[in-house]
Structure 1
Amino acid sequence: MKANKIMAAAIMACAAMPAAAQSDSTGLKSAAESFAATPIDVGADVTIPLEESTAAVSVITSATTDRRSSRNIANSILGQGTGLVSLQNSGSYSDTDPTFYVRGLQSLSTSTPLVLVDGIERSISDITPGEVESVLILKDAAAVALYGYKAANGAILVTTKRGKYNTKTVKFSYDHEWQFMMKKPQFVDAATYAEAVNEARSNDGLSAKYTTDEINAFRSGQYPYLYPNVDWVNETFRNHGVANKYNMEFSGGGKAFRYFTYINLTTNKGFVANADANSGYSTQDKYTKGSIRVNLDADITRTTKMKVNLQGVLDETSGPSADLWDLVYSVPAAAFPIKTESGLWGGTSTWSGTLNPVAQSAGAAYVKNHSRSLTSDITLSQDLSGLLKGLKASVRVGYDNSSNVYEDHSKTYDYGSLTPGQWVDGEPTVSAEYKVTAASEMGTSAETNAYAARFHFDAGLNYANTFGNHSVYSQLKWDYEYEDETGLNTTVYRQNVSWYTHYGYKGRYFADLALVGSGSSRLAPGTKWSFSPTVSAAWVISKENFMAKAKWLNLLKLRASFGIINADYLPGDDVWTYYTQQYVTTGGTYPFTSSWTSEFGRTYLDRLATENPGHEKAYKYNVGLDASLFGCLNLTFDAYYQRRTDIWVEADGKYTALIGQDAPYENAGIVDSWGFEAGADFSRKVGAVTLTAGASVSLNRNKIVEQLEEPRLYDNLVQTGHSVGQIYGLKAIGFFEDEEDIANSPTQTFSTVKPGDIKYEDVNGDGQIDSNDEVAIGYSDDAPELYFSLKLGAEWRGLGFYALLQGTGRYSAVLNTKSMYWGLVDNTTISQYAYENRWTADNKEAKYPRLSSQSNANNYQTNTIWLEDRSFLKLRTLEVYYNLPRKLLDASRFISEAKLYLRGTDLFSIDHMAVSDPESYGATDPLTRSIAAGLAVTF
């Protein structure tokens, strides 16, 4: 409702005021100007004005990508771009790359989009926001047609900045960022843990483990070496992390040469509290990245041009060798002291498999990863108008190389503790001293554990001309690439031969045709090549004569597209497994399946070979509408439908197990997906105030039509007809109140049930509860079906703010995190939240079941008790800034622009998960919020 009111006010403001023609100090142009000027890249050397585009493309400009103080451009575009679903994964600074989907989940194979940097597939995590000109989200068949096998799931195209003729500019920026963990876990203290264990054992019919004296000792802290009470979270981690970002940009050019150079240095120190406990080295979680980009453009002759792109990246991560968060989710406060009275690191035989988190953070040294990458490409283009007006030729060669060196400098340490004995006269005694001698020197090994290289070559002829009312752009192109990764038989070769034509009539009727032949070494002989045709059209209604009087309408365009995009996705890493019969040496007797194992060697047949293999295909349909109103408001809407066919699936449901071999993979899967996305952007200068606002929403749904599903005993078990990633589980109908309730209910077969255990619905009506009672519950936990955002901004005389909110809906989580929700399982601890919400005889309206000291298969099934609504609304970005006035800068003579800013990132989240973050939950680094102070100066 608020968003509707905002947009209504924006329309009124547009209608009342004259259009702003010039750019304002924020770098945002008027909406109509920006809409008309932005080019769409539909392939190397093919740029079409957005007004003429027939494709479904959303544009994220540099005006909004550098407002978040992010490590890379991937995190800068969170919540931006209609049709793009972007989600955070980890709170670790070195591993914060989001998960991307273009139009949600689309296939049983993969739904990951293609990422391109300057037209070549490259890592988005290496790109700094300041070096980016724009990010395009390519959504329909017309937008991705020329990218071949890899673009069936859409694409993200990052375009970096270039220099300008006859200019010279130097820019410097610095960000200092403070980071804070969101929803840091809280586990119970030692006394509460001991009480919880006793309660769990009582529930299981066992005797108490801890006496009253021991519980009181945990609570009083009088005997810290016998009865410790350690807050492992706060002893292992500090409350804040710090990052620094230094950027230097040099750009410009002369009459025949242009350059853009961008240098970045990023450093981060994480949350380890005891990082400097040793002389000579630190165990802090650290990340350091240095990168340099050089983009060059040279007019070699009047008709010959050269373009060069170079980027080098060096990054280094170091930190403890153990997963500290997994440890603090495991070790109870009562387990052992941090150190014994004699200075020995704490540890006991009870938790011998669980390491001391503080010891691992301070006393086990560190490991380090060095990543190195170099990306390069050069393009030569030749104007051949001397042969034929409008004819050009181009050739591009690119080579990228990356590697990672792992250094192991970790070590082990002695550990132990005192074992409590009997209490005598109100005082504890020592039963024994437990000690493990395991100390070692720091490791010195190093190895290259990852390597990747990519070679790219393309050559093409381009023709562009205008004949009266007719305009034509046509391109004939050949692409070739190979990529090679660490391991044997990992090299993949791909080729594309394409013909693309863009035709316009009277500047208001446009049609595109793309015919693409693609080949891939991943596919079986006889199926390596495929043909992908795409057609699309657009009608610029606003240029019709009957719209001449609609002065308020700057642009109204209707477009539609259809295309077949082929894919070379495969069901696993071993390409050849699915095409030819395999022979495996193992097993003493002939097995019925490949899961048979034996000590004796024998050759047997593995999975059946695939008969008539093919490749996955995407049939994409799209209709869209673009409008620009009053010179300040842009609107866009797209509706789409896609049928994905010939998806690789296991054919277990087609063959009987009596054949004695695993069923083959076959190209038989079918998935339908459909949805819409809508966006609105407003930009207006009213007097001295510049106003900006925007909103977007997308809904992405899908259904599995065919997957060769094995026959099911009951309809509730059938997964075909449901969505990709659908969660399946049991329907909880409460908790057993007493033994009589258990006796009068259907038998639950997972384990012996007791009062306080979860009671399930007998969905199939067979009188017992087992896995046959599972049903579809909630939505997918991979990607939300609903994704939306809202942005607001204003600037007055250089003082301004910008805010971006982003949210999701129709999104589910399964709360199965150890200790946080499943307390005490496998001798772990329990969170304060799980303890307070457990079932007891006095709290039968609890949220979660009774405590168990032993494995409880009945309660720890996937079920609706553990199902949570994962939807959220987050304040992704809040920036408050001040552009220093021109008069003050003119006095300095050498500074043309200066900006001071304060930025907040992910400052709050409104969601349904009380103690976890809906984007990333589990025994892992919590997501962070951050505040950054910065300065940007242009000389």
Structure 2
Amino acid sequence: MCCYSSLGFSQISTVTGTVRDSLEQTALYNVTIMVSGTRTAARTDLHGKFSIIASPGSELIFTHAGYREKRVLVGNSSTIDVSMANAKKELDEVVVVAYAKQKKATVTGAIASVSTKEIKQSPAANLAVSLAGRLPGLTTLQTSGEPGRDVTALFIRGRATINSTNPIVLIDGVERDLTYIDPNEVESVTILKDASSTALFGVRGANGVILVTTKRGASEIPEMNFSYEAAAQNFPYFIKTVNAYDYASLRNLALSNDNLPQQFSQKTLDVYKTGADPVNYPNTDWRKVILKDFSMQQRYNLNISGSTSNRAMRYFVNATYLNQGGQFRVEKDLPYDPSFRLKRYSFRSNIDLKLNRRLDVYLNVGGYLEKQNMPMGILNRVGDITATLASMSPAVYITSFMSRVPANVPVLTPSGDVTTGPNVDWPAYGLLNRSGYIQQTRSNVLATFGMRQDLGNITEGLSAEAIMSFDTKSTNNLYGGREFVRYMQALTPSLGNPSGPDSVYFTQYGGWLNTPLTIGGSTDFSSLSNFQARLNYSRAFNKHNVTGLVFYQQQQNIQGVQLPFNLRGVSGRVTYGYDNRFFAEFNAGYNGSEQFAKGKRFGFFPAVSGGWLISNESFMKNQNIITHLKIRGSYGKVGNDQLGGRRFLYLDDIHIQGGGYSTSLGLGQQIAINMLKNANISWEIARKADIGFELGLAPGIDLVVDIYKERRDNILRNRSTIPALNGFDLSVLPPVNIGVIENKGYEVELGYRKAVSRKLTVFGKLNFNYAKNKQIAADEPLLSPNYAYRYRSTGYSLGQNFGYIVDRYFTDQSDIDRSPVQSVGGHAARPGDFKYVDLNKDGIIDERDKAPIGYTAVPEYTYGLAFGASQKQWDISVLFQGVANVGRLLNGAGIWAGAGYTNYSDWHNYSWTPERAAKGEVIRYPRLTTQVSPDEQTNNFFYVNSSYVRLRNIEIGYTFTRTLVNKIGVNKVRVYLNGQNLYTWDKLPFKGIDPEQLTSYTYPIQRIFNAGVNVTF
């Protein structure tokens, strides 16, 4: 803050105050304050405060770039607080686009952004999880909550291909992994959605692009931030199974329905009900045995940013430590640690140097070191750990003990061995504790060096930039594996005394034996090198504004011993603006991919867009309601070379296998064909159209609406219409570019922000997206006329399920006899089974009666609602996120109760029985059985609508007054509480499973309660 004076009058005084943004109510730095008619001036400091010498009656003039000038008369008060209004904020706000930045008002493509402030309101360990519900057009689908493997699938504007739908992720302009980025490093996340914004990526731009911009130094005053967070995590959803008495009762009912002898006597049922003999009649709650009530997560972060006084060097340095525990209990006295645990150390350093008036260089270095611990049993069996918790009978001990085995039992069970239930080969307790451990160490180092040269000496507005980056990633696995013996528990009636207590004994289950720990390991390594060269042009003259970009990139990705993945291409952009009212843009990419044969690797992908900023027209000047009004549109072509992980399909895929005769390859060897080549294979082509409407109103309301349509051609599919009679082995035929899918929808984003008073600001933001696809061409044969639905793909959405339509339950055998023949899967119907609808009216229930049921696994509707307020030192923010028109199949342990399923949950207490049906009581499940039944088919009873609304985040914060914290030598202290996945409303008929996850055979998504403190120095 500085001040100088040339006042010539006597009645002068010092005027102090604070300058804030009128909308955000944030302090404004470097505002210039002048006394009108004099040379007396001052500037605000980092906290918006100023001090200036002025006399009563004089006029103070406040000016700041991007804000309307403010004039205030000095009265008798020595304190003046000022709010400055943003002058056409949309014209000055800069947003990130592909390989550049643009003024928001001039953007003619479809993009959306979220700031670091919003991202950090989520305590999630994965940045992708933090994006849920915050960006219009982005659908997130978290498939696991496992520490270090909390994978989240991302879809931009739905799904338009049967192959990979992954968007490209660029971090500071280089393709990198989103999962491991620390939210404290991030400045903003932007998604590019239409052809205009992604055309520069050409052959790889069809699925959209996610741009992550990390923080950089700015202020001349160094700033240090330290934060600490401690969180408690648990599972909001987990299948809750019945107690031992209900289990035994339901088991007897299932056996009775199958006309089989009951397993549990009335005496046994009575003991289970009273709990009088827990030694011989255990009632084990496997959830309490295996799961913790809570696990802990801690996060420490320290970052420093600033610049030298002449801004010749700017810097941002960040370091974070994350420690996340797992929800599963493990034994304490094992010679190894099988617990779930994640420790991640991440760092970043962004340095910008201005070497001279025309040359800037920068160096970005970042990465992480991650150590993950888990039980060996999770290797390809994480689903079994969660599934067997629902499979294990409560009438089974945790482990067996010799003291509980009668002396007259011939097979004595060693103390401490694992017990299991019927048909449970992999009991959860054994998978967690007795299978060994995995220690996985992952490291990643990212380095980018760039140079910017101002070529204004050649022609005004011309500059060049070169970027070189190199990333290395390694994964080291240390395995300690072993096998463990399993035992089954049974009861023997008391000899000679039928009313006496039963005795428990154990017999070995299967052929597994305890084995010593076997140590092994593996190492994976990958690297990515990227080179970019850019030529930029930006010039404004009179009413014209022209920018241009020519961009060259080549990239090589080496993954282990595989052949390198290579990319190369040239892209360009030209924009034109006239009088800040009319805008036009042309983008194009000429890119190549090694996925295709020589001579067919490169393609040209153009896109055009335009916009009209109506609010800058002269006829809009004399009104103060509409602050921003723009219409825009785009059309273009982009590609997709991600072909489901398959490479070099233009070459024959052959291998050497064993044979029964001598060849030149050696005795017993022959060449076999896995797949014939397709020399004409090409990329998918996405033709995209978008129309957008933007509106800003003076009360602080912003509205953005987009309508879009995409036609995806050349989709790689396997042939289905070639008859087997032609003599070809159809299994070796290559896929061809014959698929066509149409995807269309709309997006709405509505925002509101208003400073109700100097002390109270409120805000709200709603985003809503609808995307629905349809398969136009799928090379699908038309089924015979006796099929109720003659196509299973063509004309339907990707992933559309077909199944049987449930009419009602069969009441008795005569009802079955009067109905169409129903032996689905070769199993005859019984009373209490589903009666399926005979859609084709042929008197038989079979494949021909299947109909489209439910929605697909990718929702058609996604939405988010964020709102909050700040008053004085307090602030609160809330985020609801939801999806609609999405489906999933209910199946697996604890849900189905037939052959192979050995436990029950509460909804099986409401299964069909003749008595319940006769009384008209609630029936939630067909008859129980121990055998395979026609009920366990894909049908509209088990395939359900999994739409939900989730209270995704809440954060409440308190910022201590500056007067208080300055006494301890700091500038700002904020404490806060936040939570994630706090509550969910859904339509599932079965409780205990998360509607977001597609299966119950995975690590559940976690609920997080978090407390933190942030200190700024």
Q: What TM-score do you get using the length of structure 1 for normalisation?
A: 0.92
Q: Of 582, 586, 597, which residue of structure 2 is paired with 1:509?
A: 582
Deviation at 1:605, TM superposition (A): 4.5
Q: Gaps (5+ residues) in structure 1? A: 1-16, 590-598
* Residue 674 in structure 1 maps to residue 744 in structure 2: yes
Deviation at 1:548, TM superposition (A): 0.9
Q: Paired residue for 1:375?
A: 446
SS state of the match for residue 915, structure 2?
Answer: coil
Q: Paired residue for 1:881?
A: 957
Cα 1:297–1:416 change in 2 (3 A) is: same
8 A contact 2:654–2:671 mirrored in 1: no
Alignment of 1:413-428 (within 5 A): 413-416=484-487, 419-424=490-495, 425=497, 426-428=499-501
Whole-angstrom CA distance in 2 between matches of 1:172 and 1:581: 55
381-390 vs 538-547, which deviates more?
381-390
What amino acid is aligned across from residue 624 of structure 1 in structure 2? G
Q: Of 767, 776, 784, which residue of structure 2 is paired with 1:705?
A: 776
1:642-701 per-position Cα deviation (integer Å, ceiling 9, x unaligned): 000000011122444532311431101000111110111122212210111111111111
What amino acid is aligned across from residue 712 of structure 2 in structure 1? R
Q: Paired residue for 2:143?
A: 89
Q: Paired residue for 1:14?
A: none
8 A contact 1:337–1:417 mirrored in 2: no
SS state of the match for residue 846, structure 1?
Answer: coil
Q: Paired residue for 1:399?
A: 470
Q: Paired residue for 2:883?
A: 808
1:848-893 per-position Cα deviation (integer Å, ceiling 9, x unaligned): 211121222x11111011021111111111111111112212333x
Deviation at 1:503, TM superposition (A): 1.1
Deviation at 1:779, TM superposition (A): 1.0
Deviation at 1:842, TM superposition (A): 2.1
Cα 1:880–1:432 change in 2 (3 A) is: closer
Whole-angstrom CA distance in 1 between matches of 2:810 and 2:90: 62
Whole-angstrom CA distance in 1 between matches of 2:140 and 2:85: 27
Deviation at 1:150, TM superposition (A): 2.4
SS state of the match for residue 63, structure 1?
Answer: helix
8 A contact 1:35–1:634 mirrored in 2: no
SS state of the match for residue 597, structure 2?
Answer: coil
What amino acid is aligned across from residue 879 of structure 1 in structure 2? E
8 A contact 1:411–1:443 mirrored in 2: yes
Cα 1:529–1:577 change in 2 (3 A) is: closer
* Residue 831 in structure 1 maps to residue 831 in structure 2: no
Q: Paired residue for 2:349?
A: 294
Q: Paired residue for 1:596?
A: none
8 A contact 1:512–1:535 mirrored in 2: yes
What amino acid is aligned across from residue 746 of structure 1 in structure 2? P
Cα 1:477–1:452 change in 2 (3 A) is: same
* Residue 327 in structure 1 maps to residue 383 in structure 2: no
Deviation at 1:408, TM superposition (A): 1.5
What amino acid is aligned across from residue 258 of structure 1 in structure 2? R
Q: Paired residue for 2:927?
A: 850
Cα 1:337–1:752 change in 2 (3 A) is: same
Identical-pair percentage: 27
* Residue 101 in structure 1 maps to residue 172 in structure 2: no
SS state of the match for residue 726, structure 2?
Answer: helix
Whole-angstrom CA distance in 2 between matches of 1:559 and 1:495: 31
1:60-98 per-position Cα deviation (integer Å, ceiling 9, x unaligned): 112211111221321222110111112322232322232
8 A contact 2:250–2:909 mirrored in 1: no
What amino acid is aligned across from residue 945 of structure 2 in structure 1? D
Whole-angstrom CA distance in 2 between matches of 1:812 and 1:31: 46
Alignment of 1:650-729 (within 5 A): 650-662=718-730, 663-687=733-757, 688-713=759-784, 714=787, 716-718=789-791, 719-729=793-803
1:442-489 per-position Cα deviation (integer Å, ceiling 9, x unaligned): 4432221x3322111111211111221111111111111111224534
Q: Of 735, 741, 755, which residue of structure 1 is paired with 2:815?
A: 741
Cα 1:18–1:252 change in 2 (3 A) is: closer
Q: Paired residue for 1:135?
A: 189
8 A contact 1:626–1:637 mirrored in 2: yes
408-417 vs 164-173, which deviates more?
408-417
Whole-angstrom CA distance in 2 between matches of 1:627 and 1:256: 40
Cα 1:432–1:362 change in 2 (3 A) is: closer
Whole-angstrom CA distance in 1 between matches of 2:178 and 2:901: 41
Q: Paired residue for 1:648?
A: 716
Whole-angstrom CA distance in 2 between matches of 1:850 and 1:29: 71
Q: Gaps (5+ residues) in structure 2? A: 1-19, 29-46, 49-82, 404-413, 662-666
Cα 1:601–1:232 change in 2 (3 A) is: farther
Cα 1:362–1:661 change in 2 (3 A) is: closer
Whole-angstrom CA distance in 2 between matches of 1:31 and 1:922: 51
8 A contact 1:225–1:341 mirrored in 2: no
497-506 vs 425-434, which deviates more?
425-434
Whole-angstrom CA distance in 1 between matches of 2:869 and 2:87: 18
Q: Of 362, 367, 373, which residue of structure 2 is paired with 1:318?
A: 373
8 A contact 1:422–1:431 mirrored in 2: no
Q: Of 235, 243, 250, which residue of structure 1 is paired with 2:289?
A: 235
8 A contact 2:567–2:593 mirrored in 1: yes
Cα 1:720–1:421 change in 2 (3 A) is: same
Cα 1:245–1:21 change in 2 (3 A) is: closer
SS state of the match for residue 111, structure 1?
Answer: coil
* Residue 385 in structure 1 maps to residue 456 in structure 2: yes
Q: Paired residue for 1:161?
A: 215
8 A contact 1:225–1:340 mirrored in 2: no
1:254-303 per-position Cα deviation (integer Å, ceiling 9, x unaligned): 1210111111001112222335x216654331111110011111112221
Q: Of 787, 791, 805, which residue of structure 1 is paired with 2:866?
A: 791
Q: Paired residue for 1:245?
A: 299
Deviation at 1:154, TM superposition (A): 0.9
Q: Of 1, 20, 39, which residue of structure 1 is paired with 2:23?
A: 20
SS state of the match for residue 672, structure 1?
Answer: strand
Q: Of 405, 413, 416, which residue of structure 2 is paired with 1:345?
A: 416
Whole-angstrom CA distance in 2 between matches of 1:382 and 1:47: 17
Q: Paired residue for 1:915?
A: 992
SS state of the match for residue 196, structure 2?
Answer: helix
356-365 vs 917-926, which deviates more?
356-365
Deviation at 1:140, TM superposition (A): 0.4
Deviation at 1:601, TM superposition (A): 6.2
Deviation at 1:827, TM superposition (A): 4.4
1:416-456 per-position Cα deviation (integer Å, ceiling 9, x unaligned): 466433333133565865358833444432221x3322111
Q: Paired residue for 2:78?
A: none
8 A contact 1:82–1:698 mirrored in 2: yes
SS state of the match for residue 867, structure 2?
Answer: strand
Q: Paired residue for 2:845?
A: 769
Whole-angstrom CA distance in 1 between matches of 2:242 and 2:898: 11
What amino acid is aligned across from residue 959 of structure 2 in structure 1? N
Deviation at 1:588, TM superposition (A): 7.5
Aligned length: 904
Whole-angstrom CA distance in 2 between matches of 1:187 and 1:882: 42
* Residue 900 in structure 1 maps to residue 975 in structure 2: yes
Whole-angstrom CA distance in 2 between matches of 1:30 and 1:725: 51
Cα 1:540–1:349 change in 2 (3 A) is: closer
31-40 vs 702-711, which deviates more?
31-40
Q: Paired residue for 1:627?
A: 695
Q: Of 557, 573, 584, which residue of structure 2 is paired with 1:500?
A: 573
SS state of the match for residue 963, structure 2?
Answer: helix
599-608 vs 512-521, which deviates more?
599-608
What amino acid is aligned across from residue 57 of structure 1 in structure 2? I
What amino acid is aligned across from residue 976 of structure 2 in structure 1? Y
8 A contact 1:346–1:356 mirrored in 2: no
